[in-house]
Structure 1
């Protein structure tokens, strides 16, 4: 079973900072364990690297025990939904034509209201995945929801730090 130690061992000296950051961002921070591992797993799915995905799934199951399955399933759903939404809304933003902004998206997103953990944590994972996928509109929308839902800017910051390092590790493993 892949672990973070395996991932860290696979990162060459060119990726020393990523290796160190991969450990530090997942340690004590302002996130609950469920938030931390939801963001890490969702980010791993978004980063699309098999080793980092397996490692994050393994570590989440180790850290969360019986609480892991709903967190993992929500992270999986968030990564998939943002994979769709980030492309669509990034296109609308980038093309900059009002005519596209007035068109109905017509994309099913029922899973957004059928979360297994809680709405705010799900939105936090969506925010992290949207940051990886580079969708300004989605990042702003999800940040607003999580702040209004009671999370702090420190929690948002920590989630995006995790997303950035998970993505960097995936890039490092591929390079």
Structure 2
């Protein structure tokens, strides 16, 4: 399965009862950014696995897993991509709380002290760090965690990810959120 087949299979699942300009725009945007030359096949596959889990799209999870298997991506990387939404959700939730507290009362934040949550994956990812950071940016955007988006964008740039690649991932994240929202019953 290549990106073209993945795209065709996924877009075929979008409910045909909606065929207005919004759906056409979303589908057209998806086709444009899924083929981005800035993103490798492996980045797309791992990203789609994590993002589809975050967005709770079983159809896209299955297509992304099929795509990753076709690309011969290591099983430990695939497993990690499936688990990232869990740790990212925990961290996004916690850091949103701390960010809100910091805004209202800097002294209160000191009283809370260290995060105190296990997050060993942040230093020991099985996938390339650049892929990991792209996924964390995308999920943090969906979870509306400003602090995490800023930290992971900065770290992605530090490990050599071009901002054009980050921009394409963020666009694709918004597009997928829209497509999956429209396809819900």
Taking structure 2 as the reference length, the TM-score comes to 0.82
Give the Å deviation of 1:68.
Answer: 5.0
More contact order relative to length (CA 8 Å, sep ≥ 6)? 1
Q: Determine which structure has more spread, i.e. the larger CA radius of gyration.
A: 2
- Of 74, 87, 90, which residue of structure 2 is paired with 1:84? 90
Give the Å deviation of 1:115.
Answer: 1.4
**Mapping of 1:17-166 within 5 angstroms?**
17-62=25-70, 64=71, 66-95=72-101, 96=103, 97-98=105-106, 99-100=108-109, 102-166=112-176
Give the Å deviation of 1:121.
Answer: 1.7
Give the Å deviation of 1:4.
Answer: 4.3
| Contact 2:7/2:34 (<8 A) preserved | no
Root-mean-square deviation over aligned CA pairs: 2.2
- The secondary structure found in structure 2 opposite 1:7 is helix
- The secondary structure found in structure 2 opposite 1:161 is helix
Give the Å deviation of 1:28.
Answer: 3.1
Residue 3 of structure 2 corresponds to: none
Moved more, 113-122 or 78-87: 113-122
The 4+ residue runs of structure 1 with deviation greater than 4 A are none
Aligned equivalents of 2:33 and 2:68: distance in 1? 14
In 2 relative to 1, CA 55–121 (structure 1 residues): closer, same or farther, beyond 3 Å? same
Give the Å deviation of 1:138.
Answer: 0.3
Aligned residue pair count: 172
